[in-house]
Amino acid sequence: MNAPASPATAQLDLSFSRAPSGETYLARQYAGFPFHVTRALQLDEEPAGMATVVLQSLGAGLLQGDRLAMAITAQPGAAAHVTTQGSGVAHAMLREGARQDAAIVVGEGAFLEYLPRPMILFPDADVTTSLDVVLHEGASVMWCDAYLAHDPQKGDGRFARLHAQTTLRDGAGALLALDRFAIDGSVLDEAGVMAGHAVHASLGFAGPGADGALAALWREALDEIDGVYGGVSTLPGEAGLFCRLLARDGVALRRAMLALWRVMRLQRFDVEPGARP
């Protein structure tokens, strides 16, 4: 795997802070090409003052040679929800691959949701991704990392390569969880790997409330959704919950992700997430 881009050169750098009023605002905001971000929207009753930011792309998707880096920080006590406007597309890469790195830091007592839409892998896409999450004392984070293989020609073209790594560390830098895979499009044809599904996702939640009761509710929620095969377990050292998902298509995945997100919010705050545009 080639080296990740330095955080100092990240094209996207967002830092959320909590104002004395309790409202979370964007204290630092830098979005270089291809990123663009909405203003901080207040859409949720709980957690109080939560800011929602939607990441937008001005580009055509991930192209060969791209080196994209994102740095997202929730300062102590802040509450933020970060998502994307839609799925990003990784195009065919015949000369060299592309790389996308996200570094997330959740400060003491902060609450961050990083829930981007899945990356769509076109035939011959060659992608390396990383998602590194640092969780400080009393903080909470929900994250997801999802991929969907799709041939726009409706043929059986397969992506060339996907190397992905997600890490969860505590504030002292100790590794709590590591999900790393290096695959090629042939996995789609292996019944023993994907069990006939085209979409793969992982989703985690760590921090207060990431316990057995929520795990049971997540399992119940998944059993209600057609076209999804999913499991929920406890991370090493009881650091949080982890959910692995296979889905028939993007629609089934979306239903599952929304259900898990809603159940977490209800369990943690007793309130539904606010309506999204």
Partner 1 sequence: MADASSLLLALQMGDSAFPSGGFGFSWGLETLKHDGLVHDGAGVTAFARAQLRWRWACADRPVLRAALAAKGDLDRLGALDREVEAMSLAAEQREGSRRLGRALVRSHVTMGTPGAAAFQAAQRAGRVLGHLPVAQGVVWGGAGLDVTGAEAVSAFAVAAGIGQAAVRLALVGPVEAQAMIADLRGVIATLLAQPCPERPHAFVPAAEIAVMRHESGDARLFAN
Compute CA distances 257 → 76, 87, 146, 188, 263, whole Å.
26, 14, 10, 21, 10
Q: What is the largest CA-CA distance in the chain?
A: 56
Residue 131 neighbours by CB distance under 10 Å: 23
Q: At closest approach, how far in Å is the CB of 92 from partner 1? A: 22
Query: Which amino acid type is present at position 113?
Result: E
Nearer CB in complex with partner 1: 58/195: 195
Give yes or no for residue 261 binding partner 1 (CB under 8 A): no
Beta bridge partners of 30: 13
Q: Would you say 235 or 266 has its CB closer to partner 1? A: 235
Q: How many residues does the chain have?
A: 277
- Segment contacting partner 1 by CB under 8 A, of 56-64, 92-100, 136-144, 240-248: 240-248
Contact pick of 36, 54, 132, 229 for partner 1 (by CB under 8 A):
229
Q: Whole-angstrom Cα distance, residue 82 to residue 72?
A: 9
Using CB under 8 A as the binding rule, whether residue 232 contacts partner 1 is answered as yes
DSSP letter, residue 267: H
- CB closer to partner 1, 229 vs 269: 229
Residue 74: enclosing H or E segment and its boundaries?
strand 67-74
Q: Which of residues 205-224 bind partner 1 (CB under 8 A)?
A: 216, 219
Contact call for residue 235 and partner 1 (CB under 8 A): yes
CB of 50 to partner 1, least distance (A): 28
Considering the complex, state which of residue 14 and residue 225 has its C-beta at the smaller distance from partner 1: 225
Count of chain residues binding partner 1 (CB under 8 A): 33
Q: Can residue 255 be called a binding residue for partner 1 (CB under 8 A)?
A: no
Q: How far is the CB of 213 from partner 1 (least distance, A)?
A: 12
CB of 177 to partner 1, least distance (A): 5
Using CB under 8 A as the binding rule, whether residue 49 contacts partner 1 is answered as no
Give the C-alpha separation, 176 to 156, whole Å: 38
Does 178 bind partner 1 (CB under 8 A)? Our answer is yes
160: helix, strand or coil = coil
Residue from 61, 118, 119 nearest 93 by CA: 61
How far is it, in rounded angstroms, from Cα 249 to Cα 147? 10
Q: Whose Cβ is closer to partner 1: residue 47's or residue 240's?
A: 240
Using DSSP, state whether 237 is helix, strand or coil.
helix
User: Which amino acid is it at 229?
Assistant: Y
Q: Name the minimum Å distance from CB 74 to partner 1.
A: 23
- Using CB under 8 A, which of 78, 106, 245, 256 touches partner 1? 245
| CA gap 23, 115 in Å, rounded | 21
Site residues, partner 1 (CB under 8 A): 165, 175-183, 187, 190-195, 197, 200, 216, 219, 229-236, 242, 244-246
